[in-house]
Chains A and B, each alone.
Chain A
């Protein structure tokens, strides 16, 4: 809220550091500007302090901070009574409505003091009668509205609008109302949207002779919904959506009349029609004085506490304090504690080191796992990416959810690219990988750890790691597989099985990755890139404790054996068959491929002795026989 310094000064002394102090007690200084040689400061006000959306409210805060006096507002005292205009209210959404009639008004241009003040806070001057409503709102915080009394006639009501009912605002915009919008109306004509904006025809014009001035208090949640529904972020709207003090209604009208009389802008009886069915009782809060210390962590003398509360106009009676009516934000002992602490100053709270009695560590295992998985992935030379959880329109064809599930969509996406949640990490990794290719990168090794989302019966989130690989000089599956094996080894996950499988994804050469029979992920290729995605919960707890072994004391025997193997044989199966022949075979590696000739590098080793040629020869014989009978392979 914009505060011209000269205007603020009319009510309270301003010490040099008042801006810092206001910031420290909760109203953060935002910026300041010079307008016509005047300093106007802008504060970020607290959403729960409806009383501070006014110059007088801010002055009251300053007086409380420094313990100084505030200059009271001059008013014309008014009595409650009947006026000619009748108001019917049948909704509980109105908590108070006050009206006075001002007759024989002189509509003129506003005097300099008035129009200039409004200019400083960014409000255009219209005429004296309208400007005065705005002036009183900025000064006291209570919005008021002036109708042309001769146009609106004598029978008014405040009611919910009919669905589709229209209003042309004073700015000339036509709005279609809903049956949740509260309005002032006569017969079938809407005169204003309660709490936010007036209607065009019934507002004050040059020809207005008589005025009806109203100030009211509504159920703020309803006003807030209307303000957001129709985007009516007017000065009145942003105040009425907050919890205003109904007592302000009378005060605002009294202040308004003071200026009318002072400048002789009209004639009035000091009588206000006052609809006020349930005036709130004074709020009293029981205070446990020690709670302030318990919560604040600082000892404040009782006398000091009492002094602070008095400066804030709280009345103290034994252990109970009465809250001033305008402090609609204070209702709990903790609220009172904050009042004391903020005026006492947060700077005086000591900084204490937390107790060394450390609570039990409750970090779930999967959080430690993610750290280990990240280490494994960077360990094989993959860079981490983080992408948005949404899939761009362009990549939607890649966003295929697990079978039997659905992609989750956002109902109110800010853009089409943030409409669909990813149901695999593939599309975003692919997009970022392609970026590298387009920018003439030579290699892509990316991984992302994050959630995928889909709907089965419930909304489901699954933690995944996706890895993508591409090389400008020609990507090979075995290169990627060898990196993947490195990744799993570093993550202490062994006994992996890769089985071919047609997947419901835009991937060719696809396969499943399993530990034994348990599926843990999948892989495949797209646009010459290799991709694999592994479910982190499926491998959680599957990592073996990192074990070391000593170099064997007896040297192994190593030899190469070459087989001619028929086409469409899974070579991985051949290798594991070879390995399964004897426990003394410690390693089988594919050393070379030439046409259909596959050379295996085989290591034989006994833990307690050096194997003789004869012993190795016998194992070799078995290998040859088994591979020939199983696969028809010729050595």
Chain B
């Protein structure tokens, strides 16, 4: 029996070598492996053989099976290459016109997505605002020293202006929304700036606020850390420090480690090793009272950041003007 198997094997190897077409090869395969193929039958008859030799024969059949299977599959591939028509996938092709989003849009939608998962809604508001909503209601009365940081563009001085921050949407929300709520806002803001490589009269702000009973700085910290870590990376170092903003009390400044210099100090971080990322805090009790809320019962937090700097870092843009003047090639 062993001899028979070895003979069949050698003959088949020769026939595989000579096969010219895939069909021919398939015939050989069926003859050998098919339901009544030689090898199939040999396996079946194994139980009738001398128990002493059974193991030896079994090993031989398996080895033969493997050898032939490999040979057939190699031969099949080589037949394919031979019969295949000439085809050139390297030929250069034209790119179809793909529509892309502006970098600022991309950043806004990425950030918004994170806050959606934290239960925030998205809101917007008018860009032409009154002094009342842009300043007064936000604890920024006229002649407040903090106003000098926000020289505004007036449409009708002193009452009608272009909003200088998205906080005007916060005042509108405090006025109109029912508690509790969590909201983020991304939008255009305007300031009196002489346009140069790092200042523009129009810029984007991203702002968020949450108002309900029992919110504390721990909630604010948790929210901001979750956002910062998921957006800028888990490995980033965060500085959470006291900072003054008239709209909040207590106030918070949040900085990120400067990755341009590994915190050694460079022109980007002005030698500080830290990049100022956002301002935040607990909504000032006067603001809550302005909208009839009792600061002893209801609390809220708010945060805001400039978006343009983040867009520029991410897309390696050096000149702020090129963001909105058509210099970007998408």
Q: B101–A335 contact, CB under 8 A? A: no
A593 at the interface (CB under 8 A from B): no
Nearest Cβ on chain A to B246's Cβ, whole angstroms = 8
Asked if B181 contacts A31 (CB within 8 A), the reply is no
A555 to chain B: closest CB distance in Å?
Answer: 31
User: How many B residues face the partner with a CB closer than 8 A?
Assistant: 87
Q: Determine the distance from Cα of A49 to Cα of B154 in the docked complex, in whole angstroms.
A: 29
Name A250-299 residues within 8 Å CB distance of B: 288, 291, 293-298
Cβ proximity bits A345-377 to B, threshold 8 Å, 1 near / 0 not: 011011111101011111110110001001001
A341 at the interface (CB under 8 A from B): yes
By the criterion CB–CB under 8 Å, are B272 and A359 in contact?
A: no
Would B326 and A435 count as touching, CB distance under 8 A? yes
- A360: which B residues are within 8 A, CB to CB? 121, 178, 181
Contact B182 A350 (CB under 8 A): no
Contact of A225 among B105, B143, B202 (CB under 8 A): B143
> For B323, what are the chain A residues with a Cβ–Cβ distance below 8 Å?
386
- Asked, given contacts A354-B119, A363-B121, whether A388 binds B105 with beta carbons under 8 Å apart, the answer is no
User: Shortest CB–CB separation between residue B142 and chain A, in angstroms?
Assistant: 8
- Write the nearest CB–CB distance from B205 to chain A, whole angstroms: 14
For the complex, is B192 an interface residue (Cβ under 8 Å from A)? yes
Q: Does the CB pair B218–A241 fall under 8 Å?
A: no
CA A312 to CA B56, docked complex, whole Å: 94
- Closest Cβ neighbor of A384 among chain B residues: B102
Is A297's CB under 8 angstroms from B127's CB? no
Residues of A close to B157: CB separation below 8 A: 411-412
Known: A411-B156, A415-B194. A384 touches B326 (CB 8 A): no
Q: Which residues 120-157 in B have Cβ within 8 Å of A in the complex?
A: 121-124, 126-128, 142-143, 145-146, 148, 153-157
Contacts of A288 in B (CB 8 A): 296
B325–A378 touching, CB < 8 Å: no
**Residue A28 is within 8 A (CB to CB) of chain B in the complex:** yes
Contact A432 B326, CB 8 Å, known A338-B250, A384-B105: yes
- The verdict on A363 contacting B299 (CB below 8 Å), with A349-B221, A384-B99 known, is no
Contact bitstring A518-529, B, C-beta under 8 A = 1, else 0:
000000000000
Q: Which residues of the partner chain A approach B241 to less than 8 Å between Cβ atoms?
A: 23-26, 28, 346
| Stretch of B23-31, B71-79, B208-216 contacting A (4+ beta carbons < 8 Å) | B208-216
Assembly CA distance A46 to B250 (angstroms): 13
| A277, chain B: closest CB distance, angstroms | 22
Please, how many angstroms separate the alpha-carbon atoms of A415 and B124 in the complex? 28
In angstroms, Cα B216 to Cα A353, docked, is: 11
B242 interface hit (Cβ, 8 Å): yes
Give chain B nearest CB distance to A433 CB in angstroms: 8
Q: B280-318, CB under 8 A of A: which get 1 and which 0?
A: 001011100000000110010000000000000000000
Do B128 and A383 touch (CB < 8 A)? Answer: no
* CB of A432 to closest CB in B, whole Å: 3
How far in angstroms is the closest Cβ of chain B from A488?
15
Residues A378 and B99 in contact, CB atoms below 8 Å apart: yes
Q: Does any Cβ of B come within 8 Å of A379's Cβ?
A: yes
The A/B interface has a contact count, at CB < 8 Å, of: 238
Within 8 A of B (CB), among A437-451: 443, 445, 447, 450-451
Check if B216 sits within 8 Å of A294, measured CB to CB: yes
- Chain A: residues with Cβ within 8 Å of the partner, total of 90
Within 8 Å of chain A (Cβ to Cβ): is B100? yes
A341 partner, pick from B212, B217, B299, beta carbons under 8 A? B217
Asked if residues A410 and B154 are in contact (CB atoms below 8 Å), the reply is yes
Bound CA–CA A445/B217 (angstroms): 47
Report the Cα distance A382→B96, complex, angstroms.
11
Give the Cβ gap from B125 to chain A, nearest Cβ, in Å.
10
Tell me the complex Cα distance, A241–B154, Å. 23
- Smallest beta-carbon distance A610→chain B, Å: 37
B92 on the A face (CB < 8 A): no
Q: A435: which B residues are within 8 A, CB to CB? A: 326-327
Q: Which residue of B lies closest to A29 (CB)?
A: B272
CB of A350 within 8 A of CB of B250, answer: no
Which A residues are closer than 8 A to B by beta carbons?
A: 23-26, 28-31, 46-49, 220-221, 224-225, 228, 241-242, 288, 291, 293-298, 332, 334-335, 337-338, 341-342, 346-347, 349-354, 356, 358-364, 366-367, 371, 374, 377-390, 408-415, 417-418, 431-432, 435-436, 443, 445, 447, 450-451, 453, 459, 461
**A–B complex contacts, Cβ < 8 Å, 27 sampled:** A26-B242, A29-B272, A30-B272, A31-B270, A31-B272, A48-B246, A220-B143, A224-B145, A295-B217, A298-B217, A338-B251, A352-B221, A352-B222, A353-B222, A354-B119, A356-B119, A358-B119, A360-B178, A364-B123, A364-B124, A377-B99, A378-B100, A383-B330, A388-B201, A414-B194, A432-B325, A453-B128
20 other A-B residue contacts (CB within 8 Å) besides A354-B219, A445-B99? A48-B145, A48-B244, A220-B143, A228-B148, A295-B250, A296-B250, A297-B216, A350-B221, A352-B218, A353-B226, A362-B177, A363-B122, A381-B98, A381-B99, A384-B101, A408-B155, A415-B194, A417-B195, A453-B127, A461-B127
